[in-house]
Amino acid sequence: MMKKVHIITYGCQMNEHDTEQMVGVLHTVGYKLTETLEEADLILLNTCSIREKAEHKLYSQLGKLRPLKQQRPDLILGVCGCVAQQEKEQIFKRAPYVDLVMGTNAIPKLPMLLESLDYLPRALELSEIEWEDESRNIFRECRFKAFITIIRGCNNFCSYCVVPYTRGREKSRPSAEIVAEARHLVEDGVLEITLLGQNVSSYRDSSYGASSFPRLLQALNAIEGLERIRFITAHPKDLTDELITTMAELPKVCEHFHLPIQAGSNHVLHLMNRKYSREWYLDRVHRLRAAMPGIAITTDIIVGFPGEREQDFQQTLSILEEVRYDSIFAFNYSIRPNAKAGDFPGQIPDEVKNTRLQQVLDLQKQINLEKNSELVGKTYEVLPEMINRRFPETLTGRTRTNHVVTFKGDESLLGRLVPVKITEAHPFRLTGQLIA
């Protein structure tokens, strides 16, 4: 009889893909996924450490799980991912009822760690392993979309960021292995792949030389049956003219670029150690739009960084107005372990951060609605991804530009590229009509 595992995932697409790998590995040793906490034999929290709030969510969730663990001492409770890599033994001290702590690079060791709990009171694994072919033993909930990790870690050491300390230095996966996995996925019915990495644009493979990421895109574009290629995230300093030209030339690369600016002021960008200027960034945006008219550009914004003056914040607002992003992810700055900015002078009070964040969100919501309104009456190719439970007989999917569209349609359309005419605009989604 198979045991059951429930996994709670926090954070980015990298964490989502790590969860897919954990479910696949666990399936090989007799576990199946359950959505119900109470019937799980194993509960794993796959954590994120980018924002302080995500870390608080972990310990809050552990507190909620404590009564369940007390009722069922045989329940195995584990913490995985970035907070596990960062906190290490501290998790056992703060939550002594946790059985397992596993870092970001130890997923293949998960079955061995569970087995060790038969004779050890708890298990801790933080070591790195060699990159394995992750196409094996992966559980993918969606049959026509898939993630492929191409690079792990980061070498940039932005002063606010914990990633180099939790995910390690950049390690690129062999390009031949990536292409082989993509071919295998297409044979299984996948239409769209998303290439993942903390910094995909710095991907390097000795077989492809210095321009490896553009050439990797070219190799993937040649796969018959693959319809869409996405990637996330790219660092602005690595956005070369070659990459822009390659994207424009390849029909399967979607017209969407997530280009994190973080702040609109050169003063703050320097403090952040971002290695580019506002002027360089705006030039990249101009070149992207010149090469790919209609491309959607999205970004990340951090407000309240140490030393952010009012004039710096106003420049962040002005970058929103100048670029007119299709959407943004915006956050208050929070101190992260090991990241240098925690020791910077000029820490901003929470009330100032909150006020500035709300101004950013309000301005972007207005821009979202204005930009989405420009799409009304136009027809776009949409890949329906799910049944929308809020509205009867309605599906939700994405355009090539990553806009979310809801439209009337039945389940048979899931995983099929269909034309949809946009009929209504909302700040965070579009409504459309299927074109027969």
**What whole-number distance in Å separates Cα of residue 135 and Cα of residue 150?**
12
Average pLDDT over residues 262-272: 98
What does the block give as tokens for 399? 């355009």
pLDDT tens-digit series, residues 176-213: 999 999 999 999 999 999 999 989 999 998 776 665 89
- For the chain, where do the domains classified as CATH 2.40.50.140 start and end? 379-434
Using a pLDDT cut of 90, give the percent of the chain over it: 74
pLDDT tens-digit series, residues 230-250: 999 899 999 999 999 999 999
The residues, any chain, with a CB within 8 Å of residue 401's CB and separated by 6 or more, are: 254, 255, 256, 294, 295, 296, 326, 380
- Which H or E run includes 17? helix 13-27
DSSP code string of 330-365: EEE----TT-GGGG-S-PPPHHHHHHHHHHHHHHHH
Burial of 121 (0-12, 13-18, 19+ CB in 10 A): exposed
Is 70 exceeded by the pLDDT of residue 130? Answer: no
The predicted pLDDT at position 436 comes to 80
Q: 3-class SS at 181? A: helix
Looking at 95-231, list the stretches that DSSP marks H as alpha helix, in order from N- to C-terminal side.
110-116, 163-166, 175-187, 212-221
The predicted pLDDT at position 244 comes to 97
The predicted pLDDT at position 308 comes to 98
More confident of the two residues 192 and 125? 192
Among residues 88, 32, 37, which one has the least CA distance to residue 61? 37
What does the block give as tokens for 85? 């890599």
The predicted pLDDT at position 209 comes to 63
β-pairing, 76-81 vs 42-47, is parallel
80 has binding-site annotation? no
Among residues 31, 2, 22, 4, which one has the least CA distance to residue 137? 22
Is 90 exceeded by the pLDDT of residue 392? Answer: no
- For the chain, where do the domains classified as CATH 3.40.50.12160 start and end? 3-125
158 has binding-site annotation? yes
pLDDT tens-digit series, residues 290-312: 999 999 999 999 999 999 999 99
Q: What pTM, to 2 d.p., does this model score?
A: 0.86
Is 80 exceeded by the pLDDT of residue 252? Answer: yes
pLDDT tens-digit series, residues 140-166: 778 899 999 999 889 999 999 988 888
Residue 48 phi, psi (nearest 5): -125, 145
The residues, any chain, with a CB within 8 Å of residue 395's CB and separated by 6 or more, are: 384, 385, 386, 387, 388, 406, 407, 408, 409, 410, 411, 413, 414
Superfamily of domain 3-125: Methylthiotransferase, N-terminal domain (3.40.50.12160)
The residues, any chain, with a CB within 8 Å of residue 232's CB and separated by 6 or more, are: 13, 194, 195, 196, 200, 258
**What whole-number distance in Å separates Cα of residue 244 and Cα of residue 287?**
7
Is 60 exceeded by the pLDDT of residue 132? Answer: no
Q: 3-class SS at 302? A: strand
AA identity, residue 163? V
- CATH architecture observed for domain 142-254: 2-Layer Sandwich (3.30)
The predicted pLDDT at position 208 comes to 65
What does the block give as tokens for 430? 């579009």
**What whole-number distance in Å separates Cα of residue 58 and Cα of residue 259?**
28
Among residues 231, 245, 360, 376, which one has the least CA distance to residue 304? 360
> What's the mean per-residue pLDDT of the chain?
92
254 has binding-site annotation? no
Is 80 exceeded by the pLDDT of residue 98? Answer: yes
Q: Which of 50-64, 201-215, 415-429 has the highest mean pLDDT?
A: 415-429
Residue 88 — very low, low, confident or very high, per pLDDT cuts 50/70/90? confident
- From the centroid of its chain, how far is CA 259? 13
Q: 3-class SS at 410? A: coil
- CATH architecture observed for domain 261-374: 2-Layer Sandwich (3.30)
Is 70 exceeded by the pLDDT of residue 131? Answer: no
Give yes or no for a contact between 263 and 302, defined as CB atoms under 8 angstroms apart.
yes
Among residues 321, 198, 337, 315, which one has the least CA distance to residue 262? 315
Question: Which of 52-66, 128-142, 246-260, 420-434 bottoms out in mean pLDDT, i.e. has the lowest?
Answer: 128-142
AA identity, residue 299? T
AA identity, residue 311? Q
161 has binding-site annotation? yes
More confident of the two residues 322 and 212? 322
More confident of the two residues 434 and 85? 434
Residue 388 — very low, low, confident or very high, per pLDDT cuts 50/70/90? confident
CATH 2.40.50.140 fits 379-434, yes or no: yes
12 has binding-site annotation? yes
The predicted pLDDT at position 103 comes to 85
The residues, any chain, with a CB within 8 Å of residue 136's CB and separated by 6 or more, are: 24
Is 60 exceeded by the pLDDT of residue 134? Answer: no
**What whole-number distance in Å separates Cα of residue 30 and Cα of residue 24?**
10
Residue 136 — very low, low, confident or very high, per pLDDT cuts 50/70/90? low
Is 90 exceeded by the pLDDT of residue 356? Answer: yes
The predicted pLDDT at position 211 comes to 59
- For the chain, where do the domains classified as CATH 3.30.750.200 start and end? 261-374
What does the block give as tokens for 152? 């792990």
The predicted pLDDT at position 135 comes to 56
Is 90 exceeded by the pLDDT of residue 96? Answer: yes
